[in-house]
Every structure is written in structure tokens, then in C-alpha cells.
Amino acid sequence: MDPCNIYTIDAVSKTSISVPAPVAGTTPIFVTFVIDESGSMATEALVGSESTGQCNLGVVCTAVAASMSVMPETTYAGVVMFSDRATLLSPIVQMTPMNKGGIKTALMQRHPTSSTNLEAGVKMAIDMEREKFAVHSNKAKYIIIVLTDGQPDTARASTGENYGAFFKNYSSKFGFTPEIITCGFGYNVNVDLLVDISKIMNGHFSFIPTPDMVATNFVNMMAQIISQESAPVIDAIVDSYRIDFINKCTDLCRLANMGDGDGALAIIRSMSSRIRDSLTTMPDGFSKEVLIGILKDVEGEVALALSDLKKNYNVWGRGYIPSLARAHELKFCANFKDHGLQNYAGPLFKTIQTSAASIFKSELTDAISRMASTPRSAYYAPVSAAAISGLYNPSGGCFDGNCLVTMADGTTKPAMDIVRGDMILSFSGVAAEVYEIVRTLVSSTAQAVVFKSGLRITAWHPIFMNGHWIFPDNAPEHTKQMSGTTAMCGLSLVYSFAVRGQNNAHGMQVDDVFVATLGHGVSNDPVLSHPFYGTNKVLDAISNMYNTAFEKYQPEPIIGNGIWYWSYDENGAPNGILENP
């Protein structure tokens, strides 16, 4: 077996979670996935420094398979593979369980080959879609999803000819223009080309630099396709700021590409000032939440991307900013965590998003579990628990008691001094009450990630960075005090907290970084969600520990002090806090 095999799957998917189908009378949907299987797709897919057991092609094919599991039987899909030429993997067929199983089995057999003939792949997809157009005309929705990790290397690419215009002209000959969504994997994609294609072909551009960002992008993409919801209506004044932000993103990228970081940051400061001034004078009744979301985007990840052109913008900002701007332009909730995009999610979108997240988690878990239990050749890296966790499932974690927690009034307080009832600044930007505190005794050899901001946190405690929940070990190296992880260096107690009193209070700010709280209740995020640490199960375990400690021992309970310890099931998953017998 080699690193690009995906997994063996029955003809009918075992996934029991269903996605609501579009209501009766809605437009039929035809989707063609166009997958790059060039030689570069053989690159091992890593989460941080850990192997996922798959190459990039494996991760992409797994994501496509999960996307098909999300699609209801009322939709249709096909698959085209491309390298030096295009290959038809599956014609466009109805998404019945049997058809899904057949395509997934075919995906399992694919291997990276040679060059990157993007033109051939997309042309074949257009030809497939136009056959459906000949039957359904404008009464259906035609979507092509292009998934690539590199740059086209055919004659058209060498001449600099506009790919988007070429695809537009080619499809127009047949009287229709399919929507083309482009997904760029890794840091070496031709961002300008993929953005250009998506704009000309009325689609979205998704920037997916690392495997742990696959699920959040694909879940939202499929929710948007299936829901077919119209973009929300925004009042004219607020919408003018949205349009200005989109246009300014073009200016920001132009200046950053010229090396003018100071000029780009000057635009950021100007936008921030104008939005804040407007919020203070804007009367009630306007879409203030939309404007607040845009402000958070401007002052958050966009500003961070431009704060260091070499370490931030040139690495991830050059893809992130155009992707964010395009999502705002389409009023599309492209991921779970960019603040401004959340206001574009309608009720049906959210329903499908929740179901899709559960399906993705189930399928990705199944895929990696099968890989982990399969004998491997020397060429095939073993799958670590950390890598599996990094794709879709956070384990528990804590941070140093000397780290500074931001309180509701803006002051800071060491984590070790926080008491129940303290009001802290929550992830939603408002006050939340601390009502559970967990202190854990750790070995001096336990691994932690140390950030330049002062945060010292265990490697797998979710943090919010670059617009997404990620694990500290996967954070950009420029944010860290030192590369990789380091021993806790004599620290004995680490802390984690549960808060209440606000929606979206699933994070708290510690040394200028938002870290996950316990029992947050988030079930649709590939990193943050967890069946124990993220649910009431952990809160019940903590409450029982405190009650028992008060009755028997009096002092504040500490996990790992010989009395209390974390318990795990037979699969190594955490399931409680137990008292030593």
C-alpha cells in the first residue's frame, strides 16, 4: 500500500447522518469535481510535523468523497482527474447511495502522475455540464469545483493567456456559463490565476494552505451549494462599507506585492477609524452586526497578514486576503470563524452546515482509522494520534498559570489567580463568567508551545489564529518564541476554564490569543469540536469532582495529585475524571 490510497469503502456509505434536501421545486444541481493528480500531489499531507498517513491527493479525494456523502439524492455529481491530460473518473450521476459508493471506490485507486494540465480538466468538466444544460437549460444550477495544489504548466500557462476568459469563451459557445469554484491547496498555488477564474466564472476562491483547514472549507462550500439560499439583504449604508472593504483588499494586496507594508497598514488604520466612527453614530435599526464583523476582519487577520510581509503575507496572507474578499463579495459564509462572514449564513445553510460537519467528521475519522490499522511499506509514514487529532478532533489541554487572562474590564490577571465568578473577556467580545476551573499537575517533560505574546500552552489545546481554530503545534512559526514544542520546564500546574453567560463564549483571551474553553458546545468545527472536552460531559465530570472534593477533602481538587486523574476508554479517548480508589 502507498500513501495515496484512500480507504476501502462499502458500495453504500455507512454514514447514518442525513443532510436536508432542498425543498420541492428548487433548482436541480449538477456538480463536477475537477481534481489535480499531478506529481506534486504526492507530497505527504502533514498537520504540523505529524503525518496524516495520506498524501495531498489522498486528503483531497477523501474530502470529495465526504462532500458526496453530504449531497442529497436530489443532486448530481461527476469527477474529472487531470495531470498531463484529463481523465473521466465518473460521469455526472444522481447521488444515490450506490453511485456515491462506486465513485468513492474509484477515488481510492487514484495516484499522482505527471504535469498540471488544468485546461484539459476544466474543459472536460464544461463538456460534461453542457450535456446537462442541453436537457435542463437555465432551469438547473451548474457548478464546477477545481481542486489543485500548484500552477498549470501547459502552453497556455507559458503564454500568460487568461484562463478565466478562455473558460468563459469556451462555455459561452454552448450558451451557458457554469459557476467555477477554485480551491487552492498548500502555499505554492497560483493565487492570482485561481482568483481570476473564480471571478470571471462567478464562483468562490478557497485558500486551503494546510490539511486541517480542509473540512471547514468543504463543509461550508457544500452547505452553500445545497441550500441555494439567496444572499442576505444589507441596508445601503452598511453595504457601502462592505463594498469598500472588498475594493480595499485589492489595494492591500497590490501594496503588499510591491513590498509597501506601511502603505497597506495605513489603509487598515483608515478603514478601522471610519468604521468605528460610523458605529458610534449609526442609529438603531441598521445592520450593525455586519459592520462589526467587517471591523473584526479588518483589525484581526487582515491586519496580522500585513504586519509582516515576509513571514505573514508572503506565506499565507496572499491567499487569505483574496479568499476573504471574494467571500464578502458573494456574501458567502466560507468558513466557521472569519467574523464578518458569519452574518451571511441563513437558517437552511446553518442546518445543512451542522449536518455536513458531522458527516465530514465521521468520514475523515473512518478514513484515517482505516489507514492507521493497515500495514505499511517503508515508504508509507505511520499515522500518529496527534495528526488524526489535528484533522478533526481536539484533545484536552491547558496553559501555564502565569499566563495573563484578559478580564471583562480590559485588565489582565494571571490564570492561577482566577476564581469562580470572575468576569473575563469571551470570544464573542463580551463578558462571560468563569464557573469551572480545572488545575492539572503535569510532568516537567510535558510538551508545550510558547508564543511570543507570552502564551505557554499544551500542544493540542485549540487556539484561534489566522481566522480559524487550530492547534498550537500547527500555528505559524513566526508567532512562536521557538520552533516546535518544548518541555514545560519545571512547571507543575496548568489551567483550563469553563465560562457561561454568553453565546459564542467558547474562547477566552490569554496573552492576546483566544484559547478554547471547556464545554463550549461547538459541534460543527473540525478542530474545536470534541465529544468530551467540548460538551456537558466534561462539565458534569468537573462538577462531580468538586462536589466529592468538598465532601471528602476540602482543598481545591487537582487532577494528577494522586487523588484525581483523567480517565480514558478502551480506544484512548477521554471520558471522565475519576477518584483514586
Task: Say which CATH number the domain at 352 has.
Answer: 3.40.50.410
Q: 198 vs 158, 176, 183, 284, 574, CA distance in Å?
A: 20, 16, 9, 36, 43
Do 249 and 115 sit in the same domain of this protein? no
Residue 335 falls inside a structural domain? no
Residue 494 falls inside a structural domain? yes
Do 357 and 427 sit in the same domain of this protein? no
Residue 378 falls inside a structural domain? no
Half-sphere exposure (Cβ direction) of 213: Cα atoms closer than 13 Å: 24
Backbone region of residue 492 per phi and psi (left: phi > 0; alpha: psi in -120 to 50; beta: other values)? alpha
Calpha distance 435→423 (Å, rounded): 10
Do 195 and 51 sit in the same domain of this protein? yes
Q: Residue 402 class from Cβ within 10 Å (0-12 exposed, 13-18 middle, 19+ buried)?
A: middle
Do 63 and 204 sit in the same domain of this protein? yes
Cα four-point dihedral sign 353, 459, 464, 534: positive
Do 160 and 218 sit in the same domain of this protein? yes
Calpha distance 492→507 (Å, rounded): 24
Alpha helices in 510-577 (DSSP H): 536-552
Distance of CA 113 to the CA centre of its chain: 28
Alpha helices in 228-287 (DSSP H): 236-257, 261-281
Look at residues 321, 355, 385 and tell me which one is the last residue of a structural domain. 321
Do 367 and 409 sit in the same domain of this protein? no
Q: Are 507 and 514 in contact (CB under 8 A)?
A: yes
DSSP H helix total and E strand total for the chain: 15, 23
Q: Which three cell numbers stand for residue 392?
A: 478533526
Residue 251 falls inside a structural domain? yes
- Each residue's pLDDT, cut to its tens digit, for the chain (581 residues) gives 333 433 222 333 333 445 555 544 468 999 999 999 998 888 777 655 555 667 888 889 989 999 999 999 999 999 999 998 999 999 999 999 999 999 988 998 888 888 889 999 999 999 999 999 999 988 899 999 999 987 777 666 656 668 899 999 999 999 999 999 999 998 889 999 999 999 999 999 999 988 777 888 998 999 999 998 887 888 898 999 999 999 999 999 999 999 999 999 999 999 999 999 999 888 877 788 899 889 988 988 898 889 889 988 998 899 999 999 999 999 999 987 688 898 999 999 988 988 888 788 777 656 654 544 443 332 233 344 334 443 333 334 688 888 999 999 999 999 988 988 899 998 888 888 998 888 887 655 456 788 989 998 887 789 999 888 888 877 888 888 765 555 454 445 788 998 886 666 688 999 999 999 998 888 888 788 888 888 888 888 888 877 776 666 555 677 765 566 666 555 455 677 777 65
Do 314 and 456 sit in the same domain of this protein? no
Q: 217 vs 97, 334, 335, 356, CA distance in Å?
A: 24, 6, 5, 11
Do 355 and 418 sit in the same domain of this protein? no
Residue 330 falls inside a structural domain? no
Residue 435 confidence (pLDDT): 84
Cα four-point dihedral sign 320, 323, 326, 330: negative
Calpha distance 324→326 (Å, rounded): 5
Q: Global pTM?
A: 0.65
Residue 1 falls inside a structural domain? no
Residue 65 falls inside a structural domain? yes
As for how many domains the chain has, the answer is: 3
Residue 338 falls inside a structural domain? no
* Residues sharing a CB contact under 8 Å with residue 338, sequence separation 6 or more, in sequence order: 297, 301, 324, 327, 467
Do 271 and 367 sit in the same domain of this protein? no
The CATH number linked to 546 is 2.170.16.10
Nearest to 146 by CA among 85, 99, 191, 80: 80
Q: Which three cell numbers stand for residue 84?
A: 498531463
Residue 391 confidence (pLDDT): 39
> Rounded to the nearest 10 degrees, what angle do helices 288-297 and 318-330 cross at?
170
Domain that holds residue 566: 394-579
For cell 478542530, name the residue. Answer: 527
Beta strands in 320-450 (DSSP E): 399-400, 404-406, 412-414, 423-425, 431-441, 447-450
Look at residues 305, 321, 337 and tell me which one is the last residue of a structural domain. 321
Do 210 and 81 sit in the same domain of this protein? yes
Nearest to 180 by CA among 134, 95, 123, 248: 123
Do 95 and 118 sit in the same domain of this protein? yes
Which H helix or E strand runs over 142?
Answer: strand 141-148
Do 423 and 489 sit in the same domain of this protein? yes
Q: 552 vs 337, 363, 541, 544, 579, CA distance in Å?
A: 43, 45, 16, 12, 11
Q: Are 207 and 324 in contact (CB under 8 A)?
A: no
463-465 and 513-516 beta bridge pairing? antiparallel
Residue 254 confidence (pLDDT): 97
Calpha distance 376→378 (Å, rounded): 7
Straight-line distance from the first to the last Cα atom of the chain, in angstroms, rounded to the nearest whole number: 46
